[in-house]
Structure 1
Amino acid sequence: MSELEEPIKNIEQKLKEVTRRYSALKKENLRLQAEAQKLNNIIAQKEEELQQLRQQTIILKSGIQSWQPEQKKLFVRRIDAYLKEIDKCIALLNE
């Protein structure tokens, strides 16, 4: 019997280690899934904000036709800067 006890103990130890690792990986997987879901929600929110800003830009651009050319350029630059910043945020979140 003693020659079977040693291999059985080794198998039991390895099984315990595999089970422990599996539990740890399962917890890590759940954490990563929750983080991924959170980031996906942020991305969706930022994309919605971007779409709203683009719509506002279209509306505002149509309303600024009576402005002086210099006022128009300044306004367009400001809006473009905001859109670029939002695009950067979305790109960072997608990484």
Structure 2
Amino acid sequence: MQRYIDQQLASIKNKLQHLLKQYLLLQKENQHLKNELEKSKTSSFSKTEHLENLQAKVDVLQLANKGLSNDEKQALQKRIDRYLKEIEQCIALLNP
């Protein structure tokens, strides 16, 4: 009878050790995921700021476009197109 009890206790001990190992691994993975999430949030915030700055530049250029010659308007339009392309790339980076 004592042998059976000892076996059961050993089995419970092994299961508890296994659960503890799993728990520690999950804690480590959880911390890693939290760190990755924080990096992603920081990156997203930075890209959003960059996008807002580019949009402001486009707005300023569009306002400045009103009193320009045709050649100047074409050059300005090319710059705006480049800015818009850059904005679209930023948006694509923000949307995984």
TM-score, normalization: structure 1? 0.87
Moved over 2 A (4+): 69-73
- Percent identity of the aligned residues? 18
Separation (CA, whole Å) in 2 of partners of 1:89 and 1:71:
27
Structure 2 CA distance for partners of 1:23 and 1:46, relative to 1, 3 Å = same
Q: Which AA in structure 2 matches 1:6?
A: Q
Separation (CA, whole Å) in 1 of partners of 2:83 and 2:57:
10
Q: How does 1:6-85 map to 2 (within 5 A)?
A: 6-65=7-66, 66-68=68-70, 69-85=73-89
Shift of 1:26: 0.1
Q: Which has the larger radius of gyration?
A: 2
Shift of 1:71: 2.5
Separation (CA, whole Å) in 1 of partners of 2:50 and 2:78:
22
Which ranges in structure 2 are unaligned for 5 or more consecutive residues? none
Q: Deviations over 1:66-87 (max 9, x none)?
A: 1424324322221211111111
Separation (CA, whole Å) in 2 of partners of 1:55 and 1:2:
79
Q: Number of aligned pairs?
A: 92
Separation (CA, whole Å) in 2 of partners of 1:43 and 1:8:
52
Separation (CA, whole Å) in 2 of partners of 1:48 and 1:9:
59
Q: Deviations over 1:43-64 (max 9, x none)?
A: 0111011111111110121112
What root-mean-square deviation, in Å, do the aligned CA atoms of Structure 1 and Structure 2 show? 1.3
Q: Which AA in structure 2 matches 1:83?
A: I
Secondary structure of 2:50's aligned partner: helix
